[in-house]
C-alpha cells in the first residue's frame, strides 16, 4: 500500500520531538505539505529546516497560541492533535492548577483546533482529524491519573466529533500508543532506575511497570507514526470514530 498525501496540508502539534516529529517526517515523506509546531521558536525552526517543512512556534495549550496558528494556516486537510505532556504525581497531591493546565494542553488544544478546522474540512468534503491519545486512556496509570483522565477525554471527543461529521468525507479518530521511546519517556524511565544504563532501565520498566506488553520493549516513535500516516490517508476512508491501538499489546482487553 502506497500512501500519497500530495496536495494535502497537515498540521502536527507538539511535533519537535518524539511521536510528533516522527509523524511530521512520515507525512512529509508521503508528500504532504507539513506544518510542525512547538513552543520554542529555535527548536521549531531547526526541525522545520531538517524536514524541509513549515514551522510555527506557538503554545497550543492556550487560546492565544491556537489563534496564532489558525491565523497563519487557515485551512488544513490533516490535523494531528499530538501536543501534550505527562508527569508522575500522587493523585491526591495534584493541585487545581495542574489539573487545569494538563487539561488545557492535552484536551482543549485539540478542541480549539478541531473547532476551527473540521467545519472547513466538511465544506471541502475531505479531511482527517487525529487525536494522539494513549493506552493510558483505557487503563489509567496510578502514578499519573490526571494524564490518563485527559487521554480518556480525547476518546470521547474524537467519537463525538466523528458523529458530528458523519457522511461528509471527514473522519475523526484517536490513536492509542503504548509506552513509547520519546525523549520525555526516556528521561522518566531513566529517573526510575538511575543506577542502570538505559537498556537495563527499559527492561526493568517494562517488566515491573508494563508487564502485559507483548513486545517487551518500548515502542519506537516511527512505529506510531506509521499508523497515524495510514489514518491520515485516502485508504483509511472507512475508519472513523475509532480508538486505534498501537500499544505493543500492553492492553489486555480485546476491545478497543
23-66 tens-digit pLDDT: 999 999 999 999 999 999 999 999 999 999 999 999 999 999 99
Q: Are 228 and 173 in contact (CB under 8 A)?
A: no
For residue 208, the model assigns a pLDDT of 94
Q: List, for residues 82-105, the tens digit of each pLDDT value.
A: 999 998 899 999 999 999 999 999
Q: What are the residues facing 131 on neighbouring strands?
A: 81, 174
This prediction's pTM: 0.96
Q: Which residues contact 170 (CB under 8 A, 6 or more apart)?
A: 118, 121, 122, 125, 126, 127, 128, 129
Q: Is 147 an annotated catalytic residue?
A: yes
- Superfamily of segment(s) 9-179+220-246: NAD(P)-binding Rossmann-like Domain (3.40.50.720)
Q: What is the pLDDT of residues 148-182, one digit of tens each?
A: 999 999 999 999 999 999 999 999 999 999 999 99
**Which listed residue (85, 103, 147, 193) is catalytic?**
147
Portions of the chain given CATH number 3.40.50.720 = 9-179+220-246
Amino acid at each position: 500500500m502506497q500512501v500519497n498525501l500530495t496536495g494535502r496540508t497537515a498540521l502536527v502539534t507538539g511535533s519537535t520531538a518524539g511521536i510528533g516529529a516522527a509523524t511530521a517526517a512520515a507525512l512529509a515523506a508521503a508528500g504532504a505539505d507539513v506544518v510542525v509546531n512547538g513552543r520554542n521558536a529555535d527548536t521549531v525552526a531547526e526541525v522545520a529546516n531538517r524536514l524541509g517543512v513549515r514551522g510555527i512556534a506557538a503554545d497550543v495549550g492556550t487560546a492565544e497560541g491556537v489563534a496564532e496558528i489558525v491565523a497563519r494556516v487557515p485551512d488544513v486537510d490533516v490535523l494531528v492533535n499530538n501536543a501534550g505532556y505527562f508527569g508522575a504525581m500522587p493523585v491526591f497531591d495534584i493541585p487545581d492548577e495542574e489539573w487545569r493546565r494538563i487539561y488545557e494542553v492535552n484536551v482543549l488544544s485539540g478542541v480549539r483546533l478541531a473547532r476551527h478546522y473540521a467545519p472547513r474540512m466538511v465544506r471541502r468534503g475531505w479531511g482527517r482529524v487525529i487525536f494522539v491519545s494513549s493506552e493510558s486512556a483505557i487503563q489509567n496509570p496510578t502514578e499519573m491519573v490526571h494524564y490518563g483522565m485527559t487521554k480518556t477525554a480525547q476518546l470521547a471527543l474524537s467519537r463525538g466529533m466523528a458523529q458530528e461529521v458523519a457522511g461528509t468525507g471527514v473522519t475523526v479518530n484517536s490513536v492509542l500508543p503504548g509506552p513509547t521511546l520519546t525523549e520525555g519517556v526516556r528521561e522518566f524511565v531513566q529517573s526510575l532506575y538511575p543506577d542502570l544504563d538505559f537498556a537495563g532501565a527499559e527492561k526493568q520498566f517494562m517488566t515491573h511497570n508494563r508487564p502485559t506488553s507483548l513486545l517487551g520493549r518500548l515502542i519506537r516513535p516511527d512505529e506510531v507514526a506509521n499508523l497515524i500516516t495510514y489514518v491520515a490517508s485516502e485508504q483509511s476512508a472507512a475508519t472513523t470514530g475509532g480508538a486505534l491501538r498501537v500499544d505493543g499489546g500492553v492492553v489486555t482487553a480485546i476491545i478497543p
